[in-house]
A and B are shown apart, each in its own frame.
Chain A
Amino acid sequence: MKFTERLRASACILTGAALAAACGGGEPESAAPADAAGSAPAQADRVVVYSARAEHLIKPIFDRYTEETGVEVAYTTDKEQPLIQRLLAEGENTDADMLLTVDAGNLWYAAEQGVLRPVESQVLEQNIPEHLQDPQNRWFALSVRARTVVYSTERVDPQSLAGYADLADDEWQGRLCLRTSKKVYNQSLVAMLIARHGEERAEEIVRGWVDNLATDVFSNDTKLMEAILAGQCDVGVVNTYYFGRLQKERGTELAMALHWPPGDTGGVHINVSGGGVTKHAPRPEAAVALLEWLSSPAAQEMFAGLNLEFPANPAVAADPLVAAWGEFEASDMPVAQAGELQAAAVKLMDRAGYR
């Protein structure tokens, strides 16, 4: 054993790092950062993922990948911001090859902070449409979620519904339920309003929403829908997969339905979950291979299907339950723009008194 290795081994023992990735695997060469060692081995048998997408939504997919390719996927989960700070702090010593996260705002921020690297891949360009990826190819959407209007079929005539802005009309006085503005989904929704209508008009709309609220804001979409079913309010805004989950639990005969804002009002607000390869990935080829596989039809079906989202790959059909909600016209705003406008949206909601 060389002295340097012995030193490293004793450092590992000292720090209790027998469990740490840096000390495991018995492959001291590849533990060095890719920059120092030239290029990482082409046939990495392991890839490391930091994920803000919840474990039960990724584990089955990673298990399948390991089954098909023999490549082990090690992952750790946390909220988006701590993961990004972690990548920043670890710098070139990071062991992470890929960052998976939800919400375009977070993907945009990760790219801004320089923790992701551009990826040139024919496969990804073919599988993921232009508006669902970073203009500089630092991240790619893997699933699409729609945030749309949900209403009580007992108390609301769907003809009276139009776009998000129309929920600010007097007609909805005391009938609207909203989730807290702390949730990033509402922040990117308002960011889209800013992009379409300008800040001044967007603030008017949000003030109108606040005036129309039937009760305090909710801490999650499911509670909001339960309130509509219980008669506390008549109309709300939710991510469609929460609606799908409720349908799965309680049957599709709920006294509640989804409404798709039509194209002339700006269309349906969509957001994404997605991923990118980290800037200092020790195994960048392995990360690209995993990302490409995730965009492939078989994986897409699982990735979106597990959470009743829409696949990012247009060649893949959505889950039958999801498909039954009908076609909709998505907002043409590039999802990356939501990130740029997010801080403005948060401030706007604070000013408008949307808690």
Chain B
Amino acid sequence: MTATPLAVAVASLFSPDQAVWAHLAEHVLPRVLVNTLWLVLAVSALTAVIGASLAWLTAACEFPGRRFFNWALLLPLAVPGYVLAFALAGLFEYTGTVQTALRGAFGDGAGLPGLGARAASILTLTLALFPYVYLIARHAFATQGVRGLEVAQSVGMTPARGFRRVALPMARPWIAAGVALVAMETLADFGTVSVFNYDTFTTAIYQAWFSLFSLDAALQLASVLVLLVAVAVATERRFRGRARFEAVGSGGGRRRLHLAPRAAWLATGYCSLVFLVAFLLPVLQLVAWTVQTFAAEFDPRYLAFAGRSVFLGLAAALVIVTLALWLAYAVRMRPGPLAAGFARAATLGYAIPGAVLAVGFFVAVVGLGDGITAAARALLGPGTAPVVLTGTVVTLLLAYAARFLAVGHGPVESAMQRIRPSLDDAARGMGVAGLRLLGRVHVPILGTGIATAALLVFVDVMKELPITLMTRPFGWDTLSVRVFQLTSEGHWERASVSALSIVLVGLIPVLLLNRRSG
């Protein structure tokens, strides 16, 4: 399924659009490659540090406000990157709220130094994406079992050392899974970087297509991108090597680490700062805009927009988590390069810019429909009505699956690694095998991993735009489509009504998940 748009993209490599390539290679690619590398490396590193440290603090330590931050730090998940970018710009740029107030108070010379497009893009994407690492790593720290740390303490390690030497290495596949999602999301991002006019590989793809009118060149660039991602993913796997990550002595009742007063307040301050910049301030900006525009913008159709967003999010979560479970199970049962490589390839869709994937998918689905039509006409006569597969909810869900399988697969796969193979052997000894093994034994243990995957897919689908735009049935406008309608004409203030609705609806599963995982 992911392979179809990929194949469309890779096939295009063999018919390069020479004129466009020559131009891009000389004037565009050198710059955007440097920009993209900066962006991906910096965002990956920052989200790894911020996500993992916050996860460790809320999962394993005790400090004032921990119970609040435990779930509150997930909230930025519900804010789409492009919305965060616009809200932060609205607050902090030269004509923004903060700087205007500074000039008003201290005269025309007052103000903040400009961040520049690169720093602004890195910062915004870090704030938008760190919850992926936080969510997945928190789950790892919370489930990794007490004994490892107890052993560390018994051999005289300090808590900090115990974290570095024991907890962190044991959580590596989780952190890596989170960072891999972040890196792919960053590579595919278009909305956030275009708010700051930061040119990346993805903006070059769009430039080739939208401005130079060469979809071929765009597809070729996209396939280069996918190859790079494939190499990066394979490298990470190699590093992880043969390590195994089963839990030792899992189960509740673990004692939290009580931080010394000073450290505890530092932890509180750190969590507050992240929460403030990544969620509270931007949301307050959205609320302020919403108050200004609500009367003119809101109408009963919003209930339908929200309803469709929720429906699509839930349905996609169901489809994708099922697929992810099946994939992870297949890899577990038949370890070997074939199954693993297949799983890897199926999740690459996440790194392709959404609009490119949308076109690849659309072309493939139309081709399938035409094939069926031709077959039907051959069998039933030339008058048979054409079979149109596009513009259906099922097609839309399949397109989401092609794009977001990685999001569902990551958490499920790393949770699967927690389960000791001896458990499978024991189950088989009792005659439980095949799908019953998956359903009766694995799924109950995988609970939180599955919930995590479902949550990530749900909020990602709520925020998704290009695939929804191209593949939705007639009249199926969603909240994110509404954001697009208004922002494409520069109505950011009016768009805040739907942007805020996305955030509010996205909060529901975040809170549910939190209740579940305590």
Binding site for B on A (CB under 8 A): 3-4, 7-8, 11, 15-17, 19-22, 28, 31-33, 36, 48, 54-57, 74-82, 85-86, 89-91, 93, 95, 109, 180, 182, 184, 187, 215-223, 226-227, 229-232, 242, 245, 307, 342-343, 346-347, 350-351, 355
Contact = CB atoms under 8 A, between A and B. Distances in A.
Contacts of B376: 4, 7
Given A32-B385, A182-B211, A215-B94, A355 B472 contact: no
A21 B474 contact: yes
B94 A219 contact: no
Given A4-B381, A20-B473, A54-B488, 9 more contacts: A8-B384, A11-B387, A19-B474, A55-B477, A55-B485, A80-B210, A95-B391, A221-B490, A226-B95
A79 B355 contact: yes
Interface of B: 23, 27-28, 93-95, 100, 103, 108, 114, 116-117, 194-197, 199, 203, 206-207, 209-213, 215, 355, 358-359, 362-363, 366, 369-370, 372-373, 376, 380-395, 466, 469-470, 472-477, 481, 485-486, 488-490
Contacts of A95: 388, 391
A342 B190 CA distance: 22
Contact of B469 (A77, A218, A223, A350): A77
Contacts of B385: 4, 8, 22, 28, 31-32
B390 A350 contact: no
A115 to B, nearest CB: 13
B27 A32 contact: no
Nearest to B22: A347
Given A55-B485, A85-B362, A95-B388, A350 B28 contact: yes
A86 B212 CA distance: 18
A125 B469 CA distance: 34
Closest 5 CB pairs of A and B: A16-B394, A350-B27, A226-B95, A22-B388, A89-B366
Nearest to B209: A81
A15 to B, nearest CB: 5
Contacts of A182: 194, 197, 203, 206-207, 211
B359 A16 contact: no
Nearest to A74: B474
Q: Which of B207, B358, B488 has the most A CB atoms < 10 Å from its CB?
A: B488
A220 B490 contact: yes
A19 B384 contact: no
A32 B383 CA distance: 8
B469 A231 contact: no
B27 A347 contact: yes
Contact of B117 (A3, A216, A232, A346): A216
A8 B381 CA distance: 13
A93 B388 contact: yes
Contacts of B474: 19-21, 48, 74-76
